[in-house]
Structure 1
Amino acid sequence: MARLEYLELPVGDRAAAKRFYAQAFGWTFTDFGPDYAATMNGDTDVGLDAASDRVKAPLPVIRVEDLDATLASVEAASGVVTVPVFAFPGGRRFHFRDVDGHELAAMQPD
């Protein structure tokens, strides 16, 4: 079953964003390289992305069981793939726009 797994937020200063969310909500983050950190609570997690070439707005990431089947379903439903399938530490994903132009991602963990 597909479910919202992540919400990625573009941030200008990852360290400042981590401090804000820690102080405001008590969240802790795991760093994944110099530009990315994420909560790892096992529920819907938040990723902080400081890479300038990545997301420009909040990005909902939907966890799916079969990424290839989901890609076919998104395209059949008139979704537009904006970032082809790629691997990342922990799985694979792709980005797409829905019929209203919202960008989302679908991911399948390893």
Structure 2
Amino acid sequence: MSASGKHFTPINYIEFAANDLRKIKTFYTAAFDWVFTDYGPDYTAFEKSGICGGFYKHDKFADADQGSALVVLYSTELEKCKARVQNLGATIKTEIFDFPGGRRFHFIDPCGNELAVWTDR
């Protein structure tokens, strides 16, 4: 319980859809060193990403323009990170731009999910 007397309930886990779990594991392992554990043919969990989560087999995907939550990753080397995800098959949706407090870009992973990467440098 916090000092205000309210319960602190942190985000603990996040899940994404992916139509190709092999492809999604290959991408996130190479791009960000995430570690995966398979739970059957239709689910894979990830860790070493800042927050644990998973991908479930489905044809849908997260698109911020359609109201999905936007997951934002952090990198101290934004330009290198952008080049790495592009070289691994991601599409850059929004080029690097400045905002109060930092810079970021948005990408679409190989299964269609939109994420962003930001830096304060």
SS, match of residue 110 in structure 2: coil
71, 78, 89: which is aligned to 2:82?
71
Paired position in structure 2 for 1:30: none
Structure 1 residue identity aligned to 2:109: D
Q: Distance in 1 between matches of 2:7 and 2:78?
A: 32
Q: Distance in 2 between matches of 1:25 and 1:86?
A: 36
Gaps of 5+ in 1: 1-23, 28-42, 45-53
Structure 2 matches for 1:8-23, cutoff 5 A?
none
Structure 2 matches for 1:1-110, cutoff 5 A?
55=65, 56-110=67-121
CA RMSD in angstroms, aligned pairs only: 2.4
Q: Distance in 1 between matches of 2:104 and 2:7?
A: 28
Larger CA Rg, structure 1 vs 2: 2
* TM-score normalised by L of structure 1: 0.50
* TM-score normalised by L of structure 2: 0.46
